[in-house]
Chain A
Amino acid sequence: MIRRINLTINGDKVGIDVQPSMRLLDVLREILNLTGTKEGCSIGECGACTVVINGNAVNSCLIVIGQCEGSEITTIEGLEKNGELNKLQKSFMEKGAVQCGFCTPGMIMSAYALLLKNPNPTEVEIQEAIAGNLCRCTGYKQIIEAIKSP
């Protein structure tokens, strides 16, 4: 049964006609072509699919679009404003917090949600915020550095 869902995605208001049972991740990637959000595990364990919904970091593989009516959603594509990367994105580049880059969008979105609430997090708070984001390549120290210093 198709339903209309209204959302704000990266600042734009959109209405999508969709099966309410579709995962938010699939709506983003397949309907809205926002492929910056990745899928790594499909069960909420890797964090690659993290987006920010109403200010909170959420695994978009665990949310169905029917739950999102009226939400404000930010994906990795929404951080760059007027051709300028968000300072967190720049800091990930400068601190070498990226290797293959597949975990990076989710990692940045978890960190972004943290900084929205807590602009000066401690190292422990950063660890908590990204404990659900797996990186198989880089190690984690550079990622902490990047989140500490944007």
Chain B
Amino acid sequence: MSRKVIKSVTNLYDKKIERLAEVPDEKLPPLKNNKELKYIGRGISRIDGYDKVSGTAVFTFDKILKNMAHARILRCPHPHAKIRKIDITKAMNIKGVIDIITKDNTEKIDWYDGDTFIFDEHLRYQGDEIACVAAENEVIASMALKKIEVEYEILSHVTDKMTAVKEDAPKLYDWGNISPDANPAKYNRGDYEQGLKNADQIIEEEYNTQFVIHNPTEVHCSTVDWNGDHLTIWDSTQGIFAVRNSVAAALKIPQNKITVIKKYMGGGFGAKLEAGKYTVMAALLAKRIGRPVRITIDRKEMNLAVGNRPDSYQRLTVGVKNDGTLTALGMTMYGAMGAHRDGAGCQWPLRSLYKCPNVKVEEYHVAINTGRSRPFRAPGHVQGTFAFESIIDMAAEKIGMDPIEFRLKNYAEVEANWEIPWTTKLLKECYKQGAEAINWKSKRNKKAGEGKGPVKRGVGMASQIWWGTGGPPAYATVKLNRDGSVHVLSGTQDIGCGTYTILAQVAAEVLEIPVERITVSLGNTDEHPYGPSSGGSMTASSVTPAVYDGALQIKAKLMSGASALLGVREDNLVYSQGVIYSKDDKNKKKSIQEVVRETHEQILVATGARNARPQGVMLNSFGAQFAEVEVNLETGKVKVLKIVAAHDIGRTINRKLLENQFHGGIIQGIGYALLEERVIDHYTGKVLTTNLHNYKMPTIKDAPEIEVIIVSEGDDQISAIGAKGIGEPAIIPTAGAIANAVYNATGVRIRTLPITPDKILNQVYNIG
């Protein structure tokens, strides 16, 4: 099976990502028919289950090294300031304090694409880094933070994006507060003005969405250790190679002098996609003191400084004919990036969900004095889908059409941004099966809010489109030992989703051996071939085909070895359940163990590669979610009773793990719709929700009944495995479906998330 290097092209948002990658030269043989599959598609229990339920799983947070020091970071208490002076004398005098680094005793190291330094004297948000202490334990390190004396020059701040864009607002950068990348970012399709003229109805609405914080249960943390000039980093990260490359650049050392390891990790959701400043600080301290260093970020820091979903203001316009045809879609949006540049937009659902020839978008990404935004599970699509699917619901109502019928009327058969067909799109099927499961026809109020009494029920729905679908480069090494056991290795990571398990399933399927005989190692930059960062619903769709390729190569080696040993031509051999037989004489056979042993190999090794993405077609996942809610008009409380999630995600690799991903995504979506919000006091510029008491995440009591329907089979244009990815799809339409259900129940539309009781009551009783 030969290889070639290609330029792999992926369209992701407005970026065209081009990367060189080695891929299989030919299309790999497809998987067997679904019915014949033994491992792929089955609900196999996760293979790392024992480690996790027994308490033996070592997370980065648990990584303890001998003679290790503990580091904590001093952060700026003000939203905007300059450092006049730092005095560490008193802190250094505390018994047990080993070292303290600040801007005064370290080199300037560029960070955030040159926007700032590891230690900058210009502090742009509450939580910006000032110093890092190494001490004998965390308690002493925390005590020392209080003894560092900092003299600040307080600068005026701005923590609200709509204020920040005004001319007289305090400026964070030489370029002002609006990112040069989006001032505004524009998109035009067709003739928007003409589209509005052609419309019978024009609907214009404003929506606001809040900042939310990833808050994975395991905080961000690293343990680092120098051995001579070699640095080993255990990091709670979604991207080991991203961390290696950033830290190497920061420390100006070659990448082969750094090993990044991640074994178990307590979630990331996008916040852990890049190297943190804290890892670099730990490495600097470890070098200076000649000891390993463990650094952890506490929950308050998590809520200030390591990422959040950007907020949004969206003004949307929909032009529609009375027969339901969309004629124009317009969007003006502002999103806050926080104190450093990052994407804050959300235009893609509007641009890609439905057929509409005339579209106009303007986006402004705004710097404010708060922690920096980071990708958070379906970046942009969660904010965008809530607003867009809300206004689509209104448009349908305005012309008196059922919301599903309206969506079918505007169903996109080709991807409108590039005018190319999709590999597969089963969104119609999602509408159909989802509507049946929620009982759309009988549960939907004909007139919104028509139910009797103060406790109202209603149903609503929203659709989703997501990128996912993966691509090269992604590699996996498959090793077959003499005893027939198999080792799969890839430099991707399992951030909790089940990557260990699904890769074992793929190898088991190809080699026809039980999953128990397979071990999977992930998350080591030295030992494993390159695997992608775990984000964007792209791990499974990128890496499973590489394992498939690697396992096929092993199988080919076995066939050729058996042919030599048995004296039978390869095309006269069959492979079944780890044994190779002669077609003519069933007694002529060799087990895979025998082949390895008798060919005098210790181990067979092959590295598989992810196939190229098909060109000239678009690849997306799709879905429709349906919510049934109960709203108490006396208390304003919304209770989600049921969510039906019907999705086209290509092949299901493991139904049990898929349920986890969907349930988890839906519940995060419920948090976004009803509970979660980072609250800032704009007057002081301080965040008020810095612990898990104030920052409300869903608990078991917020969890509704959930039904997951997968309408798709494998999409073999994507890869032989045909998975599209399942990490993001479930969160995307959840808030929109709930908001539309709340309207159907009450007749009240909430345009600002989260939908808290005060907002419901204010609208119902017309207050404010």
Contact = CB atoms under 8 A, between A and B. Distances in A.
B657 A96 contact: yes
Nearest to A108: B53
Given A80-B54, A101-B48, A140-B700, A39 B61 contact: yes
B496 A99 contact: yes
Nearest to B693: A45
Contacts of B67: none
Contacts of B298: 42
B663 interface: yes
A41 B299 contact: yes
B55 A134 contact: no
Interface in A1-60: 29-30, 33-43, 45-46, 48
Contacts of B48: 101
B140 interface: no
Interface in B249-292: 264-267, 269
B497 to A, nearest CB: 7
Given A35-B62, A139-B664, A101 B703 contact: no
Interface majority SS on A: helix, strand, loop or mixed? loop
B701 interface: yes
B50 A93 contact: yes
Q: Which of the listed residues A29, A137, A140 has the most CB atoms from chain B within 10 Å of its own CB?
A: A137
A93 B45 contact: yes
A90 B266 CA distance: 20
A64 B698 CA distance: 28
A96 B46 contact: yes
Nearest to B137: A30
A89 B706 CA distance: 24
A130 B660 CA distance: 18
B745 interface: no
Contacts of A39: 61
A93 B664 contact: no
B123 to A, nearest CB: 25
B23 interface: no
B54 A127 contact: no
Centre residue among A34, A43, A108, A136 by max chain B CB count within 10 A: A136
B54 A38 contact: no
B217 A135 contact: yes
Interface in B692-741: 692-693, 697, 699-701, 703, 705-706
A114 interface: no
B659 A96 contact: yes
Given A101-B57, A101-B496, A94 B703 contact: no
Contact of A76 (B45, B54, B61): B54
A100 B216 contact: yes
A38 B430 CA distance: 40
Interface string B657-683: 101111110111000000000000000
Contact of A101 (B52, B664, B691, B692): B52
A100 B700 contact: no
B44 to A, nearest CB: 10
Contact of A139 (B53, B264, B691, B706): B706
Given A42-B299, A99-B498, A138-B663, A76 B218 contact: no
A96 B697 contact: no
A85 interface: yes
Contacts of B64: 33, 35
Contacts of A30: 137
Contacts of A77: 54-56
Contact of A100 (B265, B656, B692): B265
B49 interface: yes
A133 B698 CA distance: 10
A45 B57 CA distance: 23
A139 B660 contact: yes
Most buried by A among B137, B663, B706: B663
A114 to B, nearest CB: 13
A50 to B, nearest CB: 12
B495 A100 contact: yes
B45 A96 contact: yes
Contacts of A127: 700-701
Most-contacted residue by chain B among A77, A90, A133, A141 (CB, 10 A) = A141
Given A40-B299, A46-B692, A102-B59, A140 B53 contact: no
A65 interface: no
Contacts of B693: 43, 45
B634 interface: no
A100 B496 contact: yes
A40 B692 contact: yes
Contact of A93 (B49, B55, B692): B49
A38 B61 contact: yes
B215 interface: yes
A54 B644 CA distance: 42
Contacts of B46: 93, 96, 98
B53 A104 contact: yes
A29 B691 CA distance: 22
Contact of B49 (A43, A98, A144): A98
A42 B693 CA distance: 11
B567 to A, nearest CB: 47
A102 B660 CA distance: 15
Nearest to A90: B53
Given A45-B692, A98-B46, A99-B497, A37 B706 contact: no
B496 A137 contact: yes
B42 to A, nearest CB: 12
28 contacts: A29-B62, A35-B64, A36-B54, A38-B217, A40-B217, A46-B217, A80-B54, A93-B45, A94-B45, A96-B43, A96-B659, A99-B267, A99-B498, A100-B216, A100-B218, A101-B51, A101-B264, A101-B496, A102-B496, A103-B217, A105-B55, A127-B701, A136-B217, A137-B267, A137-B496, A138-B663, A139-B666, A140-B663
Of all A-B residue pairs in the complex, the 6 with the closest CB atoms, nearest first, are A36-B55, A139-B663, A100-B496, A102-B266, A101-B52, A76-B55
Given A43-B299, A76-B55, A134-B699, 19 more contacts: A35-B55, A35-B64, A36-B55, A38-B218, A40-B217, A40-B218, A40-B266, A92-B49, A94-B45, A96-B43, A96-B659, A99-B498, A101-B48, A132-B699, A137-B660, A138-B663, A139-B660, A139-B662, A139-B663
